[in-house]
Amino acid sequence: MAGIIVIVAYRPKPGRDKELLEIVRNRVPTLHKEGLVTDRVPVIMRAKDGTIIEVSEWKSHEAIEEAHQNPRVLAMWDKFFALCDCVPLKEVPEAETMFAGFEPIEE
């Protein structure tokens, strides 16, 4: 069964860039420990405005729903919302171009 590929745009709050990047790097490993995502390695990149983009794969729609009930995941998300705002991908300027290009962030 195929998973669900998601693209998330995290716009860091002022001065929170480094903290945000650290938690983004730990997001998929945390979800993997909870059995919610696949083994696909996430792709993490940065837009020119500093927004961090992450592409990852959930196991299923059910796994996404389970995450909304998981106390460890909810605690992680609380940390995210202290560090950033999740914005629609269309709000990232590069998304307006035919071939959106971003700065790769090394694992």
Q: Report whether 46 contacts 53 (CB < 8 A).
A: yes
Q: Does 17 score more than 80 pLDDT?
A: yes
Query: Average pLDDT in the 95-99 region?
Result: 94
Q: Among residues of the chain, what percentage have pLDDT more than 90?
A: 96
pLDDT tens figures, 45-77: 999 999 999 999 999 999 999 999 999 999 999
Query: Average pLDDT in the 14-22 region?
Result: 96
Domains of the chain: 18-98 (3.30.70)
* pTM of the entire predicted model: 0.91
Q: Does 107 score more than 70 pLDDT?
A: no
What is the distance of C-alpha 90 from the center of its chain? 15
> Band of the pLDDT at 106, cuts 50, 70, 90?
confident
Going by C-alpha positions, the residue among 28, 34, 22 that lies closest to residue 8 is 28
Residue 12 confidence (pLDDT): 98
Check residue 56 and report its DSSP letter: E
Whole-number Å distance between alpha carbons of 76 and 9: 16
Mean of the per-residue pLDDT values of the chain: 95
- Residue 36 has phi, psi (to 5 degrees) of -105, -20
